[in-house]
Amino acid sequence: MTTKRTVQTLLLAAVACGAVAFGYVAGTTMGDPATPAFYTLAPQAATGHPARPAATSSAEPAFYQLERQPEVPTVTLPDFADIYERVSPAVVSISATKFNDEQSRPGGRLFQDPFQWFFGQPDGPQGQRPGQPRREESGGTGFIITPDGYVLTNYHVVEKADIVRVRVNRDPRDKEFEGKVIGTDPATDIALVKIEPDQELPYLPLGDSGALRVGEWVMAIGNPFFYEDSVTAGVVSTKGRRLDGLSRDPSLDNYIQTDAAINVGNSGGPLLNLRGEVVGINTAVSRMGQGIGFAIPINMAKTVVPQLRESGRVARGAIGVTIQDISLLDPDEREYWGLKGVTGALVQDVTPDQPAARAGVKPGDAIIAINGDTLGSSNELISRISSHRPGEVIQLTLLRQGRKMNADVRLQDREEILYQETSASRPEGSEPQQSPIVHQIGVRVEDLTAETRRTFNVPRDVNGVVVADVSVRGEAYEKGLRPGMVILEVNRKPVTSVREYMNAVEGVGPGGLLNFYVQAGESRNFVTFRLGDAAD
């Protein structure tokens, strides 16, 4: 027995000594365990060698060495359950009922409503008797923003509804209210609904969507597929997303994209930050991808709600120009227009007899500030102008051929400008006179004659030379020139014939910048080229 205990004691001592020895080796080879190892390989001055760890011998050149990176701060997330408990009493379910004659039911339309593209056409109850109006039921979500019962939701949730009903989620009385649509703004898909409660209601605070950061946690509450009071969480995927071709007014698009699940029935519900503040209105989800949802920034709603309460609609200012973001211009275009280091919008076209034209704004002007405040982008220009009401006067700061100037513009109603009917004159004329000419940039132009106007459908009041062909190998094709477009100006000089066009082009030396003012359909824009050297 004694011998056995002695052997056990010796074995334990050997294990202990081995552990101490291993700890010593680990401590000397792995460094200070208290120092966080946020490191990455960083290239040094010498190049041309494959990445490898830092040199272990002083005789070996250290092409790479370990570079310490800043630590990522640790964030403790609030409990989403706590946020939900606090905000959910102010979230409501909305049902909308529409009555349609069967004979007037929409069907076979060429153009589908953009929000039906996201959510589909709701189905009404089956078994309707012939000759009876068709009853269509749909629904969504909303949230209370004042204790006296004002509710925010999406326009497409209550669009053309004959009956709107609002039920407060988690209300122990399970009370349903009749809702009155106070105002709608189809352009931003926002609607304001009013209910008449018999006591003050819980409501949600509105946060600042402009302060949201990509990657920030957000939470959505709604009624997806009519499963009431559902919660999802995710992060802000990006900001300022546009849904071109799907929105009613894409130029106003400024969506928050999130991976917090948004589904049919979530429309109109709140997107909340970790403080329980509303930062967006859940609006749409892409059918083509999972985890891609979109919400209207709450800051946009803040500008809309006062007008909806006051007049039931939103009147936005507009000036009547077509613009391009200066940041999207290539280096040659920036050099030609003298816009290096400048932000804002380049005016591509000015609509006659509208505010910008009356104030003297011209194509080629760069709008860089409004009322003295510098613009960061063309989207900001649209947003800032839209935030003013028709009839107000704003001051635009322009850059014209390197010279700064101001223009006072009295705004007009955006709907009047965007949706007014326009007509184009049909061409008439005589026989063609000039033969086509091919230039080094890969553009073949022809005079505008009766035949070419008919061929390319160019209105009579448009003067210039028509692009008859464009080489797919040339820079002109890369810049977007296509047959049928009309070149109105070359380097800001009008051209009305092939001869004038050639004289203007040949007046630019090798390596110089060539700027075309082009009409395509009803829109106009500038296209800038750099001519090749003589040896090219």
Give catalytic residue positions.
156, 189, 267
- Looking at 101-174, which runs of residues are DSSP E strands? 134-144, 150-153, 163-168
Q: CA 284, CA 298: separation in Å to the nearest integer?
A: 15
Residue 156 near residue 189, CB atoms below 8 Å: yes
Residue 469 near residue 459, CB atoms below 8 Å: no
Residue 380, helix vs strand vs coil: helix
β-pair partners for 151? 144, 193
Residue 223 near residue 230, CB atoms below 8 Å: yes
How many Cα neighbours within 13 Å face the side chain of 389?
8
Phi, psi torsion values for 297, nearest 5 degrees: -60, 135
β-pair partners for 325? 345
Q: Quick one: which H or E segment has residue 10?
A: helix 2-30
Please give the C-alpha separations between residue 286 and each of 249, 292, 295, 301, in angstroms, as whole numbers. 18, 6, 12, 22
Amino acid symbol at 303: T
Residue 229 near residue 88, CB atoms below 8 Å: yes
Q: CA 294, CA 282: separation in Å to the nearest integer?
A: 6
Q: CA 88, CA 163: separation in Å to the nearest integer?
A: 24
CA angle, residues 85, 91, 92, in degrees to nearest 5: 140
Phi, psi torsion values for 467, nearest 5 degrees: -75, 115
Residue 505, helix vs strand vs coil: helix
The residue among 447, 445, 449, 448 whose CA lies nearest residue 430 is: 449
CA angle, residues 235, 273, 264, in degrees to nearest 5: 65
Q: CA 502, CA 470: separation in Å to the nearest integer?
A: 16
76-81 long-range contacts, CB within 8 A, separation 24+:
77/217, 77/274, 78/274, 80/219, 80/231, 80/233
